[in-house]
Chain A
Amino acid sequence: MSNFSYTVLIPLIPVFVFLFIGLLGHKMKPIVSGIIGTVGLGISAVLSYITAYSYFFNTEKIDGAFQKILAFNTVWLQFTDKLHVDMGVLLDPISVMMLIVVTTVSFMVHIYSLGYMKGEKGFARFYAFLSLFSFSMLGLVLATNIFQMYIFWELVGVSSFLLIGFYYEKPSAVSASKKAFIVTRFADLGFLIGILILSFNTGTFDFISLTTVNGAAMATGGGIAFLGLSTMTWSLIFVFMGGAGKSAMFPLHIWLPDAMEGPTPVSALIHAATMVVAGVYLVARLFPVYALSAPDGLTVVAYVGSFSSLFAAVIACTQMDIKRVLAYSTMSQIGYMMVGLGVSGYGGHDGLGFMASMFHLFTHAMFKALLFLGAGAIIHAVHSNVMNEMGGLRKYLPITHITFLIACLTIAGIPFLSAFFSKDEILSAAFHHNKLIFFVQLFVAGLTAFYMFRLYFRVFWNKEPHYHHTPHEAPLTMTIPLIFLAIASIFTGYIPFSQLVTSDGMAFEAHIEWMNVAIPSIVVGLIGIGVAFVMYKKESELPDRMASGLKLIYVGAFNKFYFDEIYLFVTKKIIFNYISRPVAWFDRHIVDGFMNSIAWITNYVSFKIRGFQSGQVQQYAFVFVSGAILLGVIFIYLFSN
């Protein structure tokens, strides 16, 4: 078996880069810090590829299954013999796959940002935060135990907060970063509760012992039932709540569209390819526990995922800001992954959904990063996010146009591009498991094709608005990642995931179900593209007429079904008025009042007696002598007998 201890360097290099740039970034030229960050991450990426190669092809399988390898482990916090928090590196198929995803996308984003962020204030800061994020994400991916994962989970949240609020002089960016942080933090509360219940029940934080099939941990799982579900199920639902927060699942999705206030490369890295799939990864990490001891939890995952994907897809059809369209698209695709996990069983061919979900995660990371980076190139060219101010850009941005088209075709599920394979496998898993979810997802596939091509036609074709200056193609540092990711989007579909990343580590044969699944999904996709083509290829009144025809849905979707407003109403009108105000009143008047009155009394008395400190030495002497005489009297006459 090969020695994997070098993998600990993969997260450590970015953290050193972060410290280096963070501390010394202002002393060097911005471009130098950018190059240092990029090179550091490049080394991590190379190490990840080596790791993946040797893990998948040079490591012995036991009983035909990939083993979980503890490449590095150290006790970090020892509370008692049993309760200790470890830090380490765990290698198994999904973590190795995630390593590839994270380092690849992050590396591409690093290169891309060299061009995109050029001349921005805080260039070095940007690279420091990117490195911090990469470190946190890699630490999360490689976590050996659920507590380490939680720590890095929060670190990821912090770096996401920092990066969304990168333009901290812009009020909208500040409030978006706050919103993202608070919403995910709220979700993480659920995660923490889940962790506590789970480890209380099973007595371990460790992933390996948690997920051992028929192991001690799972056997203790049943436990007491509460509201008809076992404690194990409840804890996993809570854990999923954390995952839903990070992955922007309904109803905790509201932060993701606002997070687009951050610089576009950040959106590509964090809010498309890596951080938002952390929730999926979390469920996948605990998948054996879900599948074997809490199948009800998985049902929740499936329905939440399915609803989120539909919900987000509908909203995406109406949004005018290209980054927001992509944000909702991300949410929708993550919903797909959740569905994949939710409809999966454990082991062998039953684990098709798991495999498909991971597959989709992988391909999605590539094409979604490509879409975001492409959007970044467009924004870079026209200095606007809004679709109305774009059109006919294919002439000016040829490379961006081609790569963007490839990404759109991929996400629409056109055959023989990567997402075709991964999405179809999710659909076929759903088909065999739950027909309702299958049809919803099929419809979502059509909507996906529609809104992506709406975006595509609107931006690259349609009527050309009046540009202040002629848009120009992005520099080489930005187009190279685009091209690389476009190639990845086309060909990653041919990676034999069913041989590599499966629920129990065993390879199985997956095949495309043409009749039941593939043909309908292709047809739906083509219909979506066709509708978009008719409506948006040229400027026409069709979209407006459609909008007025479906007024209710359109207005609802355009306003994101008023979810922000509902949350605002609940928080501002109900929680603030009926909980926060009385608490604030109590705090201000009773608690503060008590403290203030103590302070006031002290102050008052001090002012009254400050005359003693008159500076008149003779007065002091008088008081001193009188006191001495008094004490003399007391001791001689009162205490003598």
Chain B
Amino acid sequence: MNAGIPLVYFLVTATLMFFVGVYGFMTRKNMITILMSVELMLNAVNINFLAFNRFLFPGQLEGHFFALFIIAVAAAEAAVAIAIIINIYRHFHNIDVEQADEMKY
């Protein structure tokens, strides 16, 4: 199915997706949207892994399994992050990342 599409196109798409995620991570105030940005970045990386695996080492499975494990880790991460966010919400009554700065200095 990938015939006619060079590797670089996948990579550029992933790069753009990744840096959009970075932008979101830096600008968003709501913690859940920050979590979404992180998911974007993880997906971009996954695309990278799979594209490299398919184009450069088609006889191996490393990229594939790495992506698989990243998905598992992302699931765990999302669950833990949301638990923490809910706890923070209970504590501060909002989930603004700029207000959760009690550990500064």
CB neighbors of A among B72-105 (8 A): 97-98, 100-105
In the complex, chain B residues whose CB is within 8 Å of the CB of A622: 26
In the complex, chain A residues whose CB is within 8 Å of the CB of B28: 618
Interface residue? B22 (CB, 8 A) = yes
Interface residue? A625 (CB, 8 A) = yes
**A618→B26 contact, CB < 8 A:** yes
Q: How far is the CB of B77 from chain A (nearest CB, A)?
A: 15
Nearest opposing residue in chain A for B29, CB measure: A618
In the complex, chain A residues whose CB is within 8 Å of the CB of B98: 616, 618
Query: Which one of A268-276, A359-367, A607-615 contacts B?
Result: A607-615
Q: Are A617 and B104 also in contact (CB < 8 A) when A622-B26, A625-B22 are?
A: no
**B26→A615 contact, CB < 8 A:** no
Q: How far is the CB of A608 from chain B (nearest CB, A)?
A: 13
In the bound complex, CA of A616 to CA of B26 (Å): 10
The SS class assigned to the B binding surface is loop
Nearest opposing residue in chain B for A625, CB measure: B22
Which of B22, B27, B34, B102 has a CB less than 8 Å from the CB of A615? Answer: B102
Nearest opposing residue in chain B for A606, CB measure: B105
Residues on A close to B: CB < 8 A? 610, 613-618, 621-622, 625
**A618→B22 contact, CB < 8 A:** no
**B103→A618 contact, CB < 8 A:** no
In the complex, chain A residues whose CB is within 8 Å of the CB of B101: 614-616
Q: How far is the CB of B53 from chain A (nearest CB, A)?
A: 23
In the complex, chain B residues whose CB is within 8 Å of the CB of A613: 104-105
Nearest opposing residue in chain B for A614, CB measure: B104
**B104→A621 contact, CB < 8 A:** no
**B25→A618 contact, CB < 8 A:** yes
**B26→A621 contact, CB < 8 A:** yes
Q: How far is the CB of B101 from chain A (nearest CB, A)?
A: 3
**A610→B105 contact, CB < 8 A:** yes
**B25→A615 contact, CB < 8 A:** no
In the bound complex, CA of A618 to CA of B34 (Å): 10
**B100→A621 contact, CB < 8 A:** no
Which of B27, B102, B105 has a CB less than 8 Å from the CB of A618? Answer: B27
Q: How far is the CB of A606 from chain B (nearest CB, A)?
A: 10
Chain B interface: which size bin?
A: 10 to 19
In the complex, chain A residues whose CB is within 8 Å of the CB of B102: 615
Nearest opposing residue in chain B for A610, CB measure: B105
In the complex, chain B residues whose CB is within 8 Å of the CB of A610: 105
**B22→A617 contact, CB < 8 A:** no
Nearest opposing residue in chain A for B103, CB measure: A615
In the bound complex, CA of A616 to CA of B96 (Å): 11
Q: How far is the CB of B30 from chain A (nearest CB, A)?
A: 12
Nearest opposing residue in chain B for A622, CB measure: B26
CB neighbors of A among B19-65 (8 A): 22, 25-28, 34
Knowing that A615-B100, A616-B98, A622-B26 touch, tell me 17 more A-B residue pairs with CB under 8 angstroms: A613-B104, A613-B105, A614-B101, A614-B104, A615-B101, A615-B103, A616-B97, A616-B104, A617-B34, A617-B97, A618-B26, A618-B27, A618-B28, A618-B97, A621-B25, A621-B26, A625-B26
In the complex, chain A residues whose CB is within 8 Å of the CB of B22: 621, 625
In the complex, chain A residues whose CB is within 8 Å of the CB of B26: 618, 621-622, 625
In the bound complex, CA of A157 to CA of B101 (Å): 60
Nearest opposing residue in chain A for B100, CB measure: A615
In the bound complex, CA of A621 to CA of B21 (Å): 12
Q: How far is the CB of A636 from chain B (nearest CB, A)?
A: 14
Ordered by A's residue number, 17 sampled pairs between the chains whose C-beta atoms are within 8 Å are A610-B105, A613-B104, A613-B105, A615-B101, A615-B104, A616-B97, A616-B98, A616-B101, A616-B104, A617-B34, A617-B97, A618-B26, A618-B27, A618-B98, A621-B22, A621-B25, A625-B26
In the bound complex, CA of A226 to CA of B27 (Å): 86
In the bound complex, CA of A520 to CA of B4 (Å): 136
In the complex, chain B residues whose CB is within 8 Å of the CB of A616: 97-98, 101, 104
Q: How far is the CB of B44 from chain A (nearest CB, A)?
A: 14
In the bound complex, CA of A622 to CA of B102 (Å): 20
Most chain B CB atoms below 10 A, which of A614, A617, A621? A617
In the complex, chain A residues whose CB is within 8 Å of the CB of B104: 613-616
In the bound complex, CA of A613 to CA of B22 (Å): 20
In the bound complex, CA of A614 to CA of B25 (Å): 17
Closest 6 A/B residue pairs (Cβ): A615-B101, A615-B104, A618-B26, A610-B105, A622-B26, A614-B104
In the bound complex, CA of A610 to CA of B104 (Å): 9
In the bound complex, CA of A615 to CA of B98 (Å): 8
In the complex, chain B residues whose CB is within 8 Å of the CB of A618: 25-28, 97-98
In the complex, chain A residues whose CB is within 8 Å of the CB of B27: 618
In the complex, chain B residues whose CB is within 8 Å of the CB of A617: 34, 97
Q: How far is the CB of A27 from chain B (nearest CB, A)?
A: 48
Q: How far is the CB of B20 from chain A (nearest CB, A)?
A: 13
In the bound complex, CA of A621 to CA of B102 (Å): 18
Nearest opposing residue in chain A for B27, CB measure: A618
Q: How far is the CB of A625 from chain B (nearest CB, A)?
A: 6
